[in-house]
Amino acid sequence: KMMTFLKAYDLWETIVKGYTPPQRELPDDTLVSLIKEAEEESTKNFKAFSFLHSTVSKVIFPRAKEAREILEQGYQGSDRTRAIRLLNLRRDLANLKMKESEKCKRLCV
């Protein structure tokens, strides 16, 4: 749900790739468009961070990407955890399937 929400506000890419603040001292030949682009990326990062932070209380994250990674790990788990969950779901599904010898009335009760 959160991914869809962030994509709707054009913030998902900012979270996935992360945000690196520009150097404080910009060279004299820096174009205005580069400065504006850096400011827009910064704004997107703070918007995404705000949305993520508002969904989790009492936790402070330094960057939106780190917040997403922590939330993803906490709610989805590691690859191994997801694989084990998938195996458990498949086992549960196999246990729920009706055998040829069973009748529909017995299965529904």
pLDDT at 58 over 60: no
Domain residue limits at 24: 2-108
Q: How many domains does the chain have?
A: 1
DSSP annotation of 63: S
The pLDDT of residue 36 is 75
Query: What is d(CA 75, CA 54) in angstroms, rounded to the nearest whole number?
Result: 16
- Model confidence at 60: pLDDT above 60: no
Of the candidates 86, 81, 10, 76, the one whose C-alpha atom is nearest the C-alpha of residue 44 is 10
Q: Please report the pLDDT score of residue 91 as a whole number.
A: 87
Compute CA distances 57 → 7, 45, 50, 61, whole Å: 22, 19, 12, 11
pTM for the model stands at 0.34
User: Given a cut of 70, is residue 61 above it in pLDDT?
Assistant: no
Instruction: Dump pLDDT digits (tens) for 63-103.
Output: 677 777 777 777 677 777 778 888 888 888 887 776 777 76
pLDDT score of 89: 86
pLDDT at 70: 74
Separation of alpha carbons 77 and 83, rounded Å: 10
* Contact assessment for residue 2 and residue 35, using Cβ atoms and an 8 Å cutoff: no
Instruction: State yes or no: pLDDT of 104 exceeds 70.
Output: no
